[in-house]
Structure 1
Amino acid sequence: MDFRTLGKTGFKVSEVSLGTWQLGSKWGDPFDPRDAADTLAAAYESGVNYFDTADIYQDGHSEHAVGEFIKQHPDVHYSTKMGRKLEPHTAANYSKANLTDFVDSSLSNMGVESLDLVLLHCPPTSVYYDPEVFFTLDEMKRAGKIQNYGVSVERVEEAMKALQFDISAVEIIFNMFRLRPEEQFFAEAQAANVGILARVPLASGLLSGKYTATTQFGKGDHRSFNRNGEAFDKGETFSGVNYETGITAVSELKRRLGTEDLAGMALRYILMYDAVSAVIPGASKPEQITANAAAAELPAFSKEQMAIVRDVYDQYIKDPVDYLW
């Protein structure tokens, strides 16, 4: 496992890190603290030293599990996200009082005195035009409650707008089916010394290459109930790609890249970009961790392979995905 610097944080983080949306559970299942501990331990043993969590993941249990783990492994860094607990989730509710409460709650959940990195959790677009939100984060940074802050975004335009503030990192969807960030944001982030965490790297599993047109997902799985944005931004589910179109594109990628292990190659593809500090695939069991971490050791893509990914994207995915996010 190699390590890269996460922007202004200065943290040296594993190229393949861990997103903890599924930590201690599978899609829609109850939280299991033993599974969570085993997953974190497997990640650490595989060379992972960075965990991404959120206050809303497993109703705070994910934060607690990560907090317990870092007490025993102080060399591990993390980010946590806040804002999605708001009801309603509106820009007006990103108030100083609410932001302070969220940070205090995360400090309590994780059992720490200062948070490594706090990210606004995909707030409404107008939040990026409200400097008071970011000034509040500045205040908490000066007070020592947080060491760094940044944003998790839905759209490239939001990431660009956030660069005017003192952010240390941006978490953004970037994968073989979401290429626009590289075209319009990566260079700007590098110039500002802002780290990039590539989330949803396998397009909700679509880029694992394991699904077919007849694959069924559970009722509690967003891949069943959010394909058209019924519950939250459609871009979070299969990266906004029409499922049937995605299956066709995946088959084409596997054929032209000559692989059945598309998941590993999809993660390795993201690491071809120096602007990316870490890719953060999720995992609900230790075996997935081991497989994900191994992707960092795969050979670099050739120019021909990079061109194949772009060609498949342009043919199947770009319209309308590129224009929406």
Structure 2
Amino acid sequence: MHYRTLGDSGVEVSEVGFGAWVVGTDWWGDRSEAEAAEMLQHALDAGITYFDTGDVYGHGRSEELVGRALADVRDEVTLATKVGYDFYNNPQAGHGELPKELSPEYLREAVDKSLDRLDTDYVDVLQLHNANVDEVTPDVLEVFDELREEDRVKAVGWAMGPSIGWLAEHERAVELEFDAVQTVFNLFEQLPGRHVIEAIREADADTSVVARVPHSSGLLNEQVRPETELEEGDHRGFRPDAWYETGWEKLETLRFLERDGERTMAQAAIQWLLSHDEVATVTPTFHSKTDIREWAAASDTPPLSPAEVERVEELSRTNFGVERSDGMDSLRSSVDGRDLEGTGKQYAGR
């Protein structure tokens, strides 16, 4: 495993991180506490030191499981969590989005409760969870600054959600000098990551990218194949059929990234992300210990060559040779679509 630093915060992260949304929720299969602890320990054994959770995952359960499992190695790991959804006063309806709350009083209380569940005095990375650009007010920023001054937070981040908005939030996070921006970024869904990287380069900023969904929800690791039947409740079932069908066609154009005995397609997808200097860590959705072993090892596989990176660029410019839509051309926006101008994407409305 190799390690990088989030911005200029001094916070070190493993190049492959553990997205703890898989423990404490049933979105990717239900797990007992013992099974969750076993996965977290397996990740540690594989060299993973960055563990990314959120208070809303399982309404605190993910944080509790992470806190207990990592208690003995707290000083050896980097803990990240997220706040901003008020699940304390609102019932959860399936995978629907909860109301957000970012008042200074609420944020401080939420952080206190997260620290209690994580059984720690500080969190390495505190992230705003899917906040709209207009919700991140001077009062919110002041709370985050105070938490850092109190040594309860070492670095601050902004975790973006595709149903909330991407691009305007990315630009604002860089402008406000957040240490990290967490966003969807993978070979098939490049727009969000590329946009924030361009913003970072234009501003010569120190903001780092935390890339999530690196395998495009199961396509690039080939865990969702044409014959796959998704279980009831699996969040990926909400994607249109065209998204999967075009994805399988695109995948075949990327076979050159595989190296027999050296790099699998799933590992290549991670290495492509790591070829961007701005990407500090990649958080795959681990389903099993087998996933952890393979994907954590991606950090030690051969980096993509300049020729491979350029070939990916060429394929991306032509939509990997696929001429029809994947059914995902419309994106949400918190600024009425103004941030989507020039991207080729349509505004999906609110």
For Structure 1 versus Structure 2, the TM-score category normalised by the shorter chain is 0.7 to 0.9
CA distance in 2, matches of 1:123, 1:113: 25
Matches within 5 A, 1:219-258: 219-224=232-237, 226-227=238-239, 242-254=243-255, 256-257=256-257
Cα pair 1:16 1:292 within 8 Å, conserved? yes
What's the counterpart of residue 233 of structure 1? none
What is the aligned counterpart of 1:153 among 134, 153, 160? 160
Say if 1:27 and 1:51 are closer, same or farther in 2 by CA, change over 3 A.
same
Alpha-carbon deviation of 1:133? 1.9
CA distance in 2, matches of 1:79, 1:297: 24
Q: Does 2:303 correspond to 1:285?
A: no
Alpha-carbon deviation of 1:107? 1.0
What is the aligned counterpart of 1:100 among 105, 108, 112? 108
Alpha-carbon deviation of 1:181? 4.5
What's the counterpart of residue 140 of structure 1? 147
Q: Secondary structure at the match of 2:281?
A: strand
Q: Structure 1, residues 39-96: CA drift from partner, whole Å, max 9, x if none? A: 11111111111111111223322211221233211210111011234557456x3212
CA distance in 1, matches of 2:299, 2:26: 24
Say if 1:48 and 1:123 are closer, same or farther in 2 by CA, change over 3 A.
same
Instruction: Identify unmatched segments of 5+ residues in structure 1.
Output: 229-237
Cα pair 1:8 1:169 within 8 Å, conserved? no
Cα pair 1:117 1:146 within 8 Å, conserved? yes
Alpha-carbon deviation of 1:28? 5.1
What is the aligned counterpart of 1:177 among 165, 177, 188? 188
Cα pair 2:4 2:280 within 8 Å, conserved? yes
Alpha-carbon deviation of 1:216? 1.5
Most deviating of 27-36 and 76-85 = 27-36
CA distance in 1, matches of 2:224, 2:193: 27
What's the counterpart of residue 41 of structure 1? 41
Letter in 2 for 1:227: R
Alpha-carbon deviation of 1:166? 4.6
Cα pair 2:177 2:207 within 8 Å, conserved? no
Matches within 5 A, 1:8-19: 8-19=8-19
Alpha-carbon deviation of 1:259? 5.8
Matches within 5 A, 1:289-304: 289-304=292-307
Q: Structure 1, residues 229-255: CA drift from partner, whole Å, max 9, x if none? A: xxxxxxxxx9xx82221121112222x
Letter in 1 for 2:206: N
Q: Secondary structure at the match of 2:286?
A: coil
Cα pair 2:177 2:206 within 8 Å, conserved? no
Letter in 1 for 2:219: L
Cα pair 1:25 1:284 within 8 Å, conserved? no
Q: Does 2:118 correspond to 1:110?
A: yes
Alpha-carbon deviation of 1:27? 3.6
Q: Secondary structure at the match of 1:21?
A: helix
What's the counterpart of residue 266 of structure 2? 263
Letter in 1 for 2:239: R
Say if 1:182 and 1:170 are closer, same or farther in 2 by CA, change over 3 A.
closer
Alpha-carbon deviation of 1:304? 2.8
What's the counterpart of residue 78 of structure 1? 79
Say if 1:227 and 1:301 are closer, same or farther in 2 by CA, change over 3 A.
same
Cα pair 2:11 2:124 within 8 Å, conserved? no
CA distance in 2, matches of 1:102, 1:166: 23
CA distance in 2, matches of 1:186, 1:167: 13
Q: Does 2:52 correspond to 1:52?
A: yes
Letter in 1 for 2:216: A
Q: TM-score, normalised by structure 2?
A: 0.80
Q: Does 2:138 correspond to 1:126?
A: no
Letter in 1 for 2:215: L
Q: TM-score, normalised by structure 1?
A: 0.85
Most deviating of 267-276 and 138-147 = 138-147
Letter in 2 for 1:101: E
What is the root-mean-square deviation of aligned Cα atoms in Å?
A: 2.7
